[in-house]
Amino acid sequence: MDKFALTGHPLGHSMSPLIHERLFALSGLDAEYSLIDIEPKDITESRPLILQHKGMNVTIPHKQAVIHLMDELGDSALRYNSVNCIKNDNGKLIGYNTDCDGFLLSAEGLPIGGNVAILGCGGVGRMIAIETALHGGNITLAVIPQDVKTAQLLMAEILEKSNGACVRITDISELDGKFDLLINATPVGMYPKTDACAVSDKVIENSGSVFDVIYNPIETLLMKKARAMGKTAVGGAAMLVYQAVKAHEIWYGGKFRSEDIDNIITEVGKAVEAMNK
């Protein structure tokens, strides 16, 4: 039986086992998926443990720390200096970043090449902003005052990675204008503070579509408001599942039908709702 795992610290409750077990079952593979909590002080010595697995997922705070354990990095891992997926290729460890694939696949059909407002500029916000720029989007980074310096560094990185990109920075409280897509990459609206929304109704009204990286709750207040206005709204559960799907493609060439992926996204939603009761 092939062994796979997720490592991070602390791990707490994770949807990963549910998602990966469903994907292995769809592929007809007899595989085991476990959670391995590794403290930061021990991650640098974890290569022998990683080599005991056919593949691993990596989450906070180890996405950068595992890089020096890799023999090779994929383009996405090099682009973000971040590894969240490891393939053990007969003792050769190859690091990838499938977070970007999760975003792009779950946002398929959304106008990421148009005028895009991104709320937040942290880890996931950075990745989304860079991918959006690489796909031709005109970006407005809307941030709180204490994040302006981080946003400026991100803007410089975007301009370096995407020649000719259009980026501006604004205070999130002063966000104005019309946008093809509004992306929330902040924790505002996350469980248990589900009655919070990062922007005003006017900003939502002036946005064609909405993408929220949060998956707990499955439908954030931002998404509820957007849908009530007749707009398309996609949540973080799809991104979570699609980054796992990409990992299975990397590990053993897994292929999945879109309806099967949709069923897993629905199952994740039900599991999250049950967890919150």
Task: Write out the catalytic residue numbers.
Answer: 63
Give the CA dihedral 151, 152, 154, 160, nearest 10 degrees.
160
Give the residues across from 57 on adjacent strands. Answer: 6, 85
User: Which among 12, 85, 83 is positioned nearest to 54, based on CA atoms?
Assistant: 85
CB 92 within 8 A of CB 71: yes
The strand pair at 85-89 and 92-96 is best described as antiparallel
Take residue 6 and report the two structure tokens written for it.
């997720």
| CA–CA dist 97, 102 (Å, integer) | 10
What is the CB-side half-sphere exposure of residue 1 using CA atoms within 13 A?
8
| CA–CA dist 128, 243 (Å, integer) | 13
